[in-house]
């Protein structure tokens, strides 16, 4: 999103700068063109003024010797004005062609002045005076024609230049008008783009929060990128975490209800069941009873014993005993549990194969505040479950470790059995869930309950090479300690 904003603002700034530069360039070009036109008009005026002065002097020459003749001082003044105008007009910078014509006119003006001087100064020789007057008049006419031609040429070129300049100015005005129209449109387009870029993701996020607020924890935000994508990912993770915690709370609530029901049921069944068992055992001791009937009664006693075991597990799950915390050497407790478990029938030879137990204890782990009896119950059940998962033998590893960063002591129990099915992975700690033919489904549930009483946690995962690993972790210090 930052890149999009910076890119959009960069493009807008670039277009703005280009527009300003073009406007400044257009104004400078138009001003320069107008300045040139003004100079050209001034040159045209000077040349027309020169033409007027030449005609005025020519008129003075024509009126000579008439009753309308002007005085010599007036003629001298007019010739002086002609010279000044000629110097001002012919001193401008021109190209080579025009410069040649100007030099020719300058020569004619000098020749005209000399001829006029002779025409107005000769007195005795009348014939020569007439010739000088005729020569001066002819030069004046030639000068008038050439200046008139130059004025006409200048006027045509000036008209062409003026028209071209006005055309350029008109084109520049059109472009400026287009820029003035496109500027607001561009601003509106960029504003719409940014508003859409911001509002669409914000609407999605707002809609998602409303869905989550209504309790739809399965809703996920999709299709957002950049920073909004990161926010959407965080919200999705939060929704998943909320759903997980909500599910756990539901399970805890269900477990509490089930525990209360189980405790009451076990209490109501336990005493009558003991009486039933005693009565059956007493009847089975009758000497005159047939062997077949005695076997049926003994089978009934076995079923009663199994029901009593189930009631005991129910009571352990529903109302586990309060832990009696002491500082426990976890390595010592595990070593004793492993030695005891090796004597269990589950670890005996099967099809000629046994179970190899590998102990990998960290000697530097601190003491654990725990109930030793409950630790024995936890890890003995885990070891027996691992042994039952390897009916054809295998390897069982018990490892302890210490995490300094989290200040937790951990135990890993790994087997090389067939592992746990993916469908069962999230259910094995639920009460009454079992994959065993004669299991009650309370063993791992009781273990989890006891570990949570110790403020610990338990997890399970399949090993890449086969089998499963249960990980139990305890805090180095209890919150209530």
Rg, C-alpha atoms of the chain: 59
Do 139 and 108 form a contact (C-beta atoms < 8 A)? Answer: yes
pLDDT at 481 (0 to 100): 52
Task: Give phi and psi for 39, each to the nearest 5.
Answer: -65, -45
Count of residues for the chain?
481
- Residue-by-residue DSSP string for 129-194: HHHHHHHHHHHHHHHHHHHHHHHHHHHHHHHHHHHHHHHHHHHHHHHHHHHHHHHHHHHHHHHHHH
pLDDT at 352 (0 to 100): 47
Q: What percent of the chain has pLDDT over 70?
A: 84
pLDDT at 440 (0 to 100): 64
In this structure, the number of other CB atoms found within 10 A of the CB of residue 93 comes to: 6
Nearest-angstrom CA–CA distance, 219 and 211: 7
Equal fold, 225-319 vs 323-475: no
Residues 202-258 have pLDDT tens digits of 888 888 888 888 877 788 888 777 777 778 888 888 888 887 877 777 766 766 676
Nearest-angstrom CA–CA distance, 84 and 53: 10
pLDDT at 329 (0 to 100): 92
Q: Where are the domains of the chain?
A: 2-190, 225-319, 323-475
Alpha helices in 214-287 (DSSP H): 226-284
What class does CATH assign to 225-319? mainly alpha
Nearest-angstrom CA–CA distance, 463 and 369: 30
Q: Name the range with the highest mean pLDDT among 276-290, 345-359, 366-380.
A: 366-380
The C-alpha angle with vertex 184 and arms to 183 and 189, in degrees rounded to 5, equals 100
Question: Listing from the earlier edge strand, what are the strands of the sheet with 468-475?
Answer: 355-360, 394-403, 408-415, 468-475, 457-462
Residues 358-381, buried b or exposed e (16+ Cβ, 10 A)?
Answer: eeebeeebeebbbbbebbebbbbb
Residues 66-85 have pLDDT tens digits of 777 777 777 778 777 777 77
pLDDT at 409 (0 to 100): 92
pLDDT at 303 over 80: no
| Least trusted range by pLDDT, from 169-178, 211-220, 435-444 | 435-444
Higher pLDDT pick, 175 / 123: 175
Element (H, E) at 419: none
3-state secondary structure of 75: helix
Do 216 and 20 form a contact (C-beta atoms < 8 A)? Answer: no
Element (H, E) at 454: none
pTM above 0.85, yes or no: no
The C-alpha angle with vertex 13 and arms to 10 and 16, in degrees rounded to 5, equals 150
What is the CATH architecture of 323-475? 2-Layer Sandwich (3.30)
- Residue-by-residue DSSP string for 293-304: HHHHHHHHHHHH
Give pairs for 36-43: CB < 8 Å, separation 24+: 36/161, 36/165, 37/158, 37/161, 37/162, 37/165, 40/154, 40/157, 40/158, 40/161, 41/158, 43/89, 43/92, 43/154
């Amino acid at each position: 999103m930052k890149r999009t904003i910076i890119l959009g603002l960069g493009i807008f700034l670039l277009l703005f700068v280009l527009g300003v530069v073009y406007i400044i360039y257009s104004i400078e070009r138009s001003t320069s063109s107008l300045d040139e036109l003004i100079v050209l008009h001034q040159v045209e005026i000077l040349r027309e003024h020169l033409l007027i002065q030449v005609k005025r002097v020519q008129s003075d020459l024509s009126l000579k010797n008439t009753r309308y003749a002007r005085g010599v001082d007036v003629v001298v003044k007019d010739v002086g004005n002609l010279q000044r105008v000629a110097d001002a007009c012919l001193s401008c910078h021109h190209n080579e062609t025009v410069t040649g014509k100007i030099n020719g006119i300058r020569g004619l003006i000098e020749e005209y002045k000399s001829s006029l001087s002779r025409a107005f100064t000769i007195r005795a020789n009348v014939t020569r005076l007439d010739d000088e007057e005729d020569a001066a008049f002819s030069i004046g006419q030639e000068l008038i024609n050439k200046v008139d031609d130059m004025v006409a040429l200048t006027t045509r070129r000036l008209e062409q230049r003026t028209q071209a300049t006005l055309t350029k100015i008109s084109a520049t005005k059109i472009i400026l008008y287009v820029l003035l129209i496109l500027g607001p449109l561009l601003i509106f387009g960029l504003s719409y783009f940014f508003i859409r870029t911001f509002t669409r993701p914000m609407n999605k996020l707002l809609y998602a929060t409303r869905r989550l607020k209504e309790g739809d924890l399965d809703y996920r935000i999709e299709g957002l990128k950049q920073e909004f994508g990161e926010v959407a990912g965080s919200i999705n993770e939060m929704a998943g975490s909320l759903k997980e915690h909500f599910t756990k709370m539901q399970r805890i609530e269900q477990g509490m209800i089930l525990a209360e029901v189980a405790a009451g049921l076990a209490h109501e069944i336990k005493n009558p069941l003991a009486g039933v068992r005693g009565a059956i055992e007493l009847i089975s001791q009758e000497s005159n009873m047939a062997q077949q009937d005695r076997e049926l009664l003994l089978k009934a006693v076995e079923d009663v014993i199994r029901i009593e075991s189930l009631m005991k597990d129910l009571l352990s799950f529903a109302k586990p005993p309060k832990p009696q915390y002491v500082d426990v050497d976890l390595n010592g407790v595990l070593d004793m549990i492993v030695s005891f478990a090796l004597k269990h029938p589950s670890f005996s030879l099967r099809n000629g194969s046994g179970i190899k137990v590998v102990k990998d204890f960290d000697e530097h782990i601190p003491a654990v505040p725990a109930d030793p009896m409950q630790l024995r119950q936890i890890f003995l059940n885990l070891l027996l479950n691992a042994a039952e998962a390897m009916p054809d033998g295998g390897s069982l590893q018990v490892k302890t470790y210490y995490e300094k960063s989290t200040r937790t002591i951990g135990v890993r129990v790994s087997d090389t059995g067939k592992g746990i099915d993916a469908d069962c992975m999230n259910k094995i700690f639920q009460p009454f869930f079992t994959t065993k033919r004669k299991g009650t489904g309370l063993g791992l549930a009781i273990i989890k309950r006891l570990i949570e009483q110790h403020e610990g946690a338990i997890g399970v995962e399949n090993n890449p090479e086969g089998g499963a690993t249960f990980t139990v972790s305890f805090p180095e210090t209890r919150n209530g300690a």
